Amino acid sequence: MMMSSVTGIGNWKYSVLYLSLIISVIYSIEILISHKLHINHTNIHLKRSPDLPLRFRDDGTFKILQVADMHYGMGSITRCRDVADAEYDYCSDLNTTRFLRRMIEAERPDLIAFTGDNIFGSSTTDAAESLLQAIGPAIEYGIPWAAILGNHDHESTLNRQELMTFLSLMDFSVSQINPQDQGALRLIDGFGNYRLRVHGAPGSVLSNSTVFDLFFLDSGDRETVQGRRTYGWIKESQLLWLQDTSKQGDNQSISGSPNPALTFFHIPIPEVRDLWYTPYIGQYQEAVACSTVQSRVLRTFVSMGNVKAAFIGHDHVNDFCGNLKGVWFCYGGGFGYHAYGRWNWHRRARVIEAKLGKGRDTWTGVERIKTWKRLDDENLSKIDEQVLWEASYTFLK
Ligand SMILES: *[C@@H]1O[C@H](CO)[C@@H](O)[C@H](O)[C@H]1NC(C)=O
Ligand SMILES: *[C@@H]1O[C@H](CO)[C@@H](O)[C@H](O)[C@H]1NC(C)=O
Ligand SMILES: *[C@@H]1O[C@H](CO)[C@@H](O)[C@H](O)[C@H]1NC(C)=O
Ligand SMILES: *[C@@H]1O[C@H](CO)[C@@H](O)[C@H](O)[C@H]1NC(C)=O
């Protein structure tokens, strides 16, 4: 009897001690980190967001860096492919990272577009870690970036939906999983279909208006069609969304026609093959690998009227731009060192620059879109510069 009551009092003492210890620990944590959790005293912000909306600069330009096919693996332990024998022992994914940093330093882009096969799923045991490393430099420099998926990103620990969710939550990302209709996710094929609007220059009459549209599309991975394996393609549901969205004609340009738009996706469309017979700019060194299914992509772009160019990847040693019915189709050219390439042919990246027109005393809508590439050589050589589109209206001048 005595014993148990003593033990009871002892337990009670310990309980009070433990309780006060726990309370003081919670209190200290609250004091230490609460200011980090309660930004604006309402929301918990874990993602560092870029300044939005995206907009043209004071000098009237907006520059996009396209990074195609990084094929990132696990960093320093993932070897390069198709480099000189002497380079092989000193070459890894870190060379891809170095190239991305060099490109950012040289071009200072306003947006980076990662057009799929960002990671090479079968070369990594942790897709999230691999993405963090691959995209790393964009986050380091605080540059807004948008990613879509290729046919290899999902071959590791995350499926396509999980990958797009993760990509949309990373720092400085403007990637989205899929479009929303009145707040609800629109049912659409694939993951990573979204629109980014770019506003006019600060202080100009169009500073609060969209003047340039960027559409990102999921071209899928692989499919079986009538018993045959083939690559994915952009489905009807995605094209219908694209058409609907472009018809929501808010912020028409000064000329009265819809804002110029660019599209980004990974796998080429079959019509890109026809460019072989046209005066393309750049190199056409391998067969266009695409789906056997002929979808309505080109017809949709042509009927929309405002799509000036499509930027694709997938075929690493093609880096050309060619024109199909008034729409340019441009390869980024292989960027990553763990991706297949061609011996003695430098890894490369594409840059796209849109420039606003100059009105009497203010910047107006987009007047010209140019593109060029840079090689990962000693001087980061700039090649194949060309104008993709120029507005035909001049009445404002
Ligand atoms: C990879 O990076 C290393 C170290 O910076 C460099 O010595 C090597 O030449 C690079 N290899 C290639 C193929 O760029
Ligand atoms: C844009 O919006 C800001 C903030 O609402 C406003 O101060 C500014 O006057 C607007 N500019 C134009 C050109 O409408
Ligand atoms: C541009 O669109 C926004 C809505 O998206 C609207 O509030 C604004 O008034 C429009 N500006 C012009 C110049 O049409
Ligand atoms: C890089 O530029 C320097 C100085 O302009 C030049 O001497 C050199 O030959 C260039 N290297 C290559 C590979 O073009």
- Which ligand sits nearest to residue 346's alpha carbon? 1
Pocket of ligand 3 (CB under 6 A): 209, 250-251
Q: What is the mean pLDDT of residues 19-32?
A: 66
Q: What is the pLDDT of residue 327?
A: 98
Q: Is 42 exposed, middle or buried (0-12, 13-18, 19+ CB in 10 A)?
A: exposed
* Residue 208 CA, closest ligand 2 atom number: 1
Please give the number of the atom of ligand 4 that sits closest to the Cα of 378.
13
The percent of residues in the chain predicted with pLDDT above 90, rounded, is: 80
Confidence of residue 185 (pLDDT cuts 50, 70, 90): confident
Nearest CA owner, ligand 4 atom 2: 379
Nearest to 173 by CA among 199, 194, 158, 202: 194
Helix (H, G, I), strand (E, B) or coil at 147: strand
- State the pairing for strand pair 194-199/54-55: parallel
Which pLDDT band, with edges at 50, 70 and 90, does 12 fall under? low
| CA pair distance 142, 150, nearest whole angstrom | 24
91 CA closest ligand 1 atom index: 1
Output the pLDDT for position 159: 97
Query: If you take atom 9 of ligand 1, which residue's CA is the nearest one?
Result: 87
State yes or no: pLDDT of 111 exceeds 80. yes
9 has pLDDT over 70 = no
In this structure, the strands spanning 363-375 and 382-390 are antiparallel
Per the prediction, the chain carries an average pLDDT of 90
Report which protein residue has its CA nearest ligand 1's atom 11. Answer: 91
- Cα first-last separation, the chain: 101
Residue whose C-alpha is closest to residue 239's, from 322, 298, 297: 297
pLDDT digits (tens, 9 = 90+) for 340-392: 999 999 999 999 999 999 988 899 999 999 999 999 999 999 999 999 999 98
For residue 24, the model assigns a pLDDT of: 72
Token pair listed for 109: 């882009």
Contact between 238 and 264 (Cβ < 8 Å):
no
Instruction: Indicate the pLDDT class of residue 161, thresholds 50, 70 and 90.
Output: very high
- How many C-beta atoms lie closer than 10 Å to residue 110's C-beta? 20
pLDDT for 222: 96
Q: In this structure, which residue's CA is closest to atom 13 in ligand 4?
A: 378
**pLDDT > 80? residue 397:** no
Strand partners, 366: 356
Provide the pLDDT for residue 255.
52
Question: Whole-prediction pTM value?
Answer: 0.86
The residue to mutate among 213, 250, 259, having the most atoms of ligand 3 within 8 angstroms of its beta carbon, is 250
Lowest pLDDT segment from 140-144, 149-153, 255-259: 255-259
Strands (E), 161-316: 180-181, 184-185, 194-199, 210-216, 222-225, 228-231, 261-264, 307-312
- The mean pLDDT value for 133-141 works out to 98
Residues flanking ligand 1, CB < 6 Å: 83, 87, 90-91, 95, 98
| pLDDT score of 36 | 52
Mean pLDDT of 317-331: 98
Alpha-carbon distance of 115 to 329, in angstroms, equals 14
What mean pLDDT is predicted for residues 69-81? Answer: 98
DSSP E strands in the chain: the ranges are 54-55, 61-67, 111-115, 145-148, 180-181, 184-185, 194-199, 210-216, 222-225, 228-231, 261-264, 307-312, 321-324, 327-331, 348-358, 363-375, 382-390
- pLDDT at position 8: 52
Tell me the average pLDDT across 112-130.
98
- pLDDT of amino acid 386: 98
Helix (H, G, I), strand (E, B) or coil at 19: helix
State mean pLDDT over 218-233: 96
Ligand 2 atom nearest residue 207's Cα: 13
> What is the number of the ligand 4 atom nearest to the C-alpha of 379?
1
pLDDT at 28: 65
Residue for token pair 């019509």 = 271
Rounded distance between C-alpha atoms, residue 92 and residue 77, angstroms:
7
- What is the per-residue pLDDT for 186? 79
Closest C-alpha residue for ligand 2 atom 3:
208
Contacts of 141 (CB under 8 A, 6+ apart): 104
State both tokens at 175: 């990637």
Taking only the tens place, the pLDDT of each residue in 84-107 is 999 999 999 999 999 999 999 999
pLDDT digits (tens, 9 = 90+) for 253-311: 555 668 999 999 999 999 999 999 999 999 999 999 999 999 999 999 999 999 999 99
